[in-house]
Structure 1
Amino acid sequence: MADGTGDLEATLAQARRMLDSLAAGGGAPDPAAETETETGGQGSALDGLVTVRASGPGRIEWVEIDPRAGRVPLGDLAEAITEAVNAALAEASGSGSLSVDFGALAGQVRQMQDDSLRQLARFTGALDDAMDRLGKRP
């Protein structure tokens, strides 16, 4: 029985090489450097009635809403919260965009590739055994 492990292995290996290349080529940020320089960010809206503090890319520490914001229409308050969160996240990330640790991502792809190939080999072996048993029946 022909197995598809060659195609799958080639595709995963290609993805793995690309991630390794990104991680080694300087395009990937250094996670240690990121944590050293990361100071967080803060954003506010509605003349300071809504304030948000972010500790890093994608992490909100707290949201503070002044009691006077209770007089603001709910739609406007929602927009202000969104504006303050986005400003805090942009300031926390430094460039306004989230960073990716390509080294860690490459490791996860490597593990997924190894696990997938093992599972595919077991599955293919089980199918081969089943086909052999079916062929031996009268």
Structure 2
Amino acid sequence: MAHPVDPSGLGRVLADTMSALARHTGTGEDEQATPEGHGAAADGLIRVTAGPPGRVTGLTLDPRLMRMPSETLAQEIGAAVNAALTDLQEQVTAAVSGQVDLGSLGEQLRRIQDDAGRQFTAFTDALVEAQDRLSRQGGR
């Protein structure tokens, strides 16, 4: 005789999966602050802040820059923006590589997969047994 199917077991497997993913993607309760990149140019007279997904979130220009030729000013602003985006990219890369332990995540997902396999096998066995009982009852 097949083991009775615990319908809450499937829900538990899904909950375990979501929990494991939340722990390894930073979407859990202990979510970290949004990374921010900083760049500067023209001896600090231009300051830029950048945030995900690669957008300039702040630009500060010292009034003394207005005496600078426009081509030079444009180049310096471009340099500050690029420095801020590079800083942001480095921070995001460091945060992701520090948060995700792929070996641990893989092991957790294998355990979840094994549990799900057992639950689905039990569910299938119960369906087959029910079908056999219905066939025997119909053949009376």
TM-score range, shorter chain: 0.3 to 0.5
TM-score by length of 2: 0.41
TM-score by length of 1: 0.42
- Structure number, greater radius of gyration: 2
